[in-house]
């Protein structure tokens, strides 16, 4: 496409003509940047949101998946595992044979926590009064990690008390807690990806749909359709400014997050950008689809607000853990692009994983983009027919 456009520009200049497409794109930029209030809001939005969501909400986490590494396999450890499994907070999904498997579990994203016992736990407790238990927790989402650590520690303490309540020796199990990926439990690790998902959606889907709805409302769309400008060019010209704007916002967010909030981009910046580009594409086409079914700005705003914003805030996992939702809502969250994007961003930015790790997210988003572009083109043609 870029090649096509630049070829067109060169071709035009020879004829001393200005491309209709480019005059149209320029007009779109005028629209956005003339409206000082909107521009200010759109540019300040990421900063504002990062501040707002700095105060994340604590939630309890149920049925966290746990893997167990238990070389002792004795009275104490078996009782703890049973208690864990019986509690509503945990589901023991796997028994690990070697300690080497621990990291692999996290890399695959299979478990939230690994509980690793030292050897001869029970014996050590009886003889030396201490035993080691390690709780290794995926700290990507600090709220749920905190909760998980709390629950597990409580269960350990409980079991200890149950077993040794009639003896006078003060036995102590010291759980050693190690948080992976987010050692200092910063909330920013969680909300930065969330804010990225939200802002990009807001700019792309919401603003695009509103700006097209406006043309319909004002009657200018009719005039444009009568003109020789191709409908596809009208649509493309509409999306370009918001594409640029979302790239500006993306860089703002990343700069703030790296230099102010201290959240590094642990993985590949290239794949982070690629993932973002695909996500932007999804949202631009979502905006086009919305604008093809509405005729005025208010409806466009309402639909993008209700159909896009709300689910992203509530169901994408940016505020409330998806695993804590009723099954029905977990299904719904599957079709929310932001959910996939946020997971992908967390993997790259925070876990530092590479291309293979985000392949599922990237493919889902790519699929969504293709589907939505197809629908919006079809919708637009149909309306013209």
Contacts to another protein by CB under 8 A: 15-20, 22-24, 26-27, 30-31, 34-35, 218-220, 222-229, 384-385
- The nearest distance, CB 319 to another protein, in angstroms, is 36
List the Cα angle 330/316/348 in 5-degree steps: 115
Choose between 92 and 224: whose C-beta lies nearer to another protein.
224
Query: CA 197, CA 191: separation in Å to the nearest integer?
Result: 10
Query: CA 203, CA 241: separation in Å to the nearest integer?
Result: 10
- The nearest distance, CB 288 to another protein, in angstroms, is 19
- The nearest distance, CB 16 to another protein, in angstroms, is 5
- The nearest distance, CB 19 to another protein, in angstroms, is 8
* Neighbouring-strand partners of residue 94: 67
- The nearest distance, CB 67 to another protein, in angstroms, is 59
- Provide the edge-to-edge strand list for the sheet that holds 172-180: 90-96, 64-69, 113-117, 130-138, 172-180
- Are 46 and 249 a contacting pair, CB within 8 Å? yes
Question: Among 292, 308, 310, 123, which residue's Cα sits nearest to residue 206?
Answer: 308
Report the 10 Å Cβ neighbour count for 139: 25
- Are 205 and 287 a contacting pair, CB within 8 Å? yes
* Neighbouring-strand partners of residue 96: 69
- The nearest distance, CB 204 to another protein, in angstroms, is 21
Residue in the structure block whose two tokens are 């998806």: 322
Choose between 88 and 385: whose C-beta lies nearer to another protein.
385
The burial of 324, by beta-carbon neighbours within 10 Å (0-12 exposed, 13-18 middle, 19 or more buried), is given as: middle
Choose between 219 and 326: whose C-beta lies nearer to another protein.
219
Query: CA 66, CA 279: separation in Å to the nearest integer?
Result: 31
* Neighbouring-strand partners of residue 180: 138
Choose between 2 and 226: whose C-beta lies nearer to another protein.
226
User: Running DSSP on this structure, what letter comes out for residue 336?
Assistant: -
- The nearest distance, CB 35 to another protein, in angstroms, is 7
Choose between 24 and 122: whose C-beta lies nearer to another protein.
24
- The nearest distance, CB 221 to another protein, in angstroms, is 9
Choose between 24 and 181: whose C-beta lies nearer to another protein.
24
Query: CA 365, CA 381: separation in Å to the nearest integer?
Result: 24
Choose between 34 and 108: whose C-beta lies nearer to another protein.
34
Choose between 224 and 314: whose C-beta lies nearer to another protein.
224
Question: Among 277, 285, 278, 297, which residue's Cα sits nearest to residue 379?
Answer: 285
């Amino acid at each position: 496409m870029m090649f096509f456009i630049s070829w067109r520009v060169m071709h035009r200049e020879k004829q001393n003509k200005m491309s209709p497409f480019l005059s149209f794109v320029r007009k779109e930029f005028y629209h956005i940047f003339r409206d000082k209030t909107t521009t200010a809001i759109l540019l300040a939005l990421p900063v504002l949101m990062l501040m707002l969501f700095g105060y994340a909400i604590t939630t309890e986490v149920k049925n966290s998946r746990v893997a167990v590494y238990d070389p002792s396999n004795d009275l104490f450890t078996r009782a703890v595992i049973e208690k864990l499994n019986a509690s509503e907070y945990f589901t023991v999904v796997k028994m690990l044979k070697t300690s080497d498997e621990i990291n692999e579990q996290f890399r695959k994203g299979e478990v939230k926590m690994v509980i690793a016992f030292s050897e001869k736990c029970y014996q050590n407790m009886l003889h030396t009064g201490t035993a080691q238990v390690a709780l290794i927790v995926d700290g990507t989402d600090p709220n749920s990690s905190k909760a998980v650590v709390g629950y597990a520690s409580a269960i350990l303490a409980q079991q200890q008390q149950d077993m040794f309540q009639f003896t006078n020796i003060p036995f102590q199990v010291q759980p050693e807690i190690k948080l992976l990926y987010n050692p200092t439990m910063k909330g920013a690790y969680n909300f930065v990806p969330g804010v990225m998902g939200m802002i990009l959606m807001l700019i792309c889907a919401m603003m695009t749909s509103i700006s097209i709805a406006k043309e319909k409302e004002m009657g200018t769309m009719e005039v444009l359709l009568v003109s020789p400008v191709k409908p596809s060019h009208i649509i493309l010209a509409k999306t370009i400014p918001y594409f640029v704007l979302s790239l500006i916002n993306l860089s703002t967010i990343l700069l703030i997050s790296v230099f102010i909030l201290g959240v590094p981009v642990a993985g590949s910046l290239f794949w982070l950008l690629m993932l973002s580009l695909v996500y932007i594409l999804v949202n631009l086409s979502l905006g086009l689809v919305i604008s093809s079914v509405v005729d005025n700005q208010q409806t466009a705003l309402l639909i993008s607000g209700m159909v896009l914003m709300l689910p992203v805030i509530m169901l994408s996992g940016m505020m409330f853990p998806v695993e804590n939702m009723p099954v029905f809502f977990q299904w719904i969250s599957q079709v929310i692009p932001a959910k996939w994007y946020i997971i992908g961003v967390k993997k790259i930015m925070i876990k530092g994983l590479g291309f293979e790790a985000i392949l599922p997210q990237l493919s889902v988003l790519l699929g969504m983009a293709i589907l939505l572009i197809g629908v919006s083109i079809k919708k637009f043609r149909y309306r013209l027919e």
